[in-house]
Chain A
Amino acid sequence: AQTVTQSQPEMSVQEAETVTLSCTYDTSESDYYLFWYKQPPSRQMILVIRQEAYKQQNATENRFSVNFQKAAKSFSLKISDSQLGDAAMYFCALLSNFGNEKLTFGTGTRLTIIP
């Protein structure tokens, strides 16, 4: 069974500052994918960033980057230069690459941006 754990139910950050959201996971597979999704109050789930487990290089998308520690099964999201539009619920998710079509989500972290 796959599990994803987000230990921070809520986080807040000052506008323009940097914040890191934590995620740990567990899987018996060696080949898998990790994602961060953002869900603002408008409710659409938006893909923020994706990491393939076989890649050692950490993924980066503009102000968003991850710290992927495969041995520790850790996948944190760093948001630099936080903006008001970053306020949302952030979900970490895991997808196995061995015929398992289920995307396993963490419980989410609600991020508040302080102006």
Chain B
Amino acid sequence: DTEVTQTPKHLVMGMTNKKSLKCEQHMGHRAMYWYKQKAKKPPELMFVYSYEKLSINESVPSRFSPECPNSSLLNLHLHALQPEDSALYLCASSLDSVSQPQHFGDGTRLSIL
């Protein structure tokens, strides 16, 4: 069982749809992360939230919009995605954003039609 919970596990959407990915942790971690992972590749960092504030945006297109409503929740809002955005989206959390190991969720497998 993972301590970082991601929903949904699978998502299929059209290029004009709007959807959201959700990530939740109750470990008291103050840093949360979104990664994108293509098949047979390592995860690529997208966003980092530290103490509920966005601290890193890795030049991610604006069709991806992160949100951190509170210290336990992290959302990724999706709009007008492209087929190349199909990937596994991983959420992670850590006690803080420096030196602490990151704990990952199971990911959301996203397919863009």
Q: How many residues of chain B get a CB closer than 8 Å to chain A's CBs?
A: 25
Q: How many residues of chain A get a CB closer than 8 Å to chain B's CBs?
A: 24
Mark each residue of chain B from 53 to 84: 1 if its CB lies under 8 Å from any CB of chain A, else 0. Answer: 00110000000000000000000000000000
Say which residue of A44, A46, A101, A105 sits within 8 Å of B55 (CB atoms): A101
Task: Knowing A101-B48, A102-B45, A103-B45 are in contact, say whether A43-B107 is a contact too (CB < 8 A).
Answer: yes
Asked if B111 is at the interface (CB within 8 A of a chain A CB), the reply is no
Asked if A75 is at the interface (CB within 8 A of a chain B CB), the reply is no
Tell me which residues across on chain A come within 8 A of B90, comparing CB atoms.
Answer: 45
Tell me which residues across on chain A come within 8 A of B55, comparing CB atoms.
Answer: 101
When chains A and B are docked, how far (Å) is the Cα of A86 from the Cα of B99? 26
B45–A43 CB distance below 8 A: no
- Within the complex, the shortest CB–CB distance from A91 to chain B, in Å, comes to 6
- Within the complex, the shortest CB–CB distance from A104 to chain B, in Å, comes to 9
Task: Knowing A101-B31, A106-B42 are in contact, say whether A42-B106 is a contact too (CB < 8 A).
Answer: yes
Tell me which residues across on chain A come within 8 A of B41, comparing CB atoms.
Answer: 107-108
Residue of A nearest to B48 (CB): A101
Asked if B43 is at the interface (CB within 8 A of a chain A CB), the reply is yes
Say which residue of A37, A98, A101, A107 sits within 8 Å of B50 (CB atoms): A101
Q: List 30 A-B contacts (CB under 8 A).
A: A35-B101, A37-B104, A43-B106, A43-B109, A44-B2, A44-B105, A44-B106, A44-B107, A45-B43, A45-B90, A45-B92, A45-B104, A46-B104, A47-B103, A91-B42, A91-B43, A95-B98, A95-B99, A97-B98, A98-B98, A99-B98, A101-B31, A101-B55, A101-B56, A101-B98, A102-B48, A102-B56, A105-B42, A107-B41, A108-B42
**Residue positions of A touching B, CB distance < 8 A:** 33, 35, 37, 42-47, 50, 89, 91, 95, 97-103, 105-108
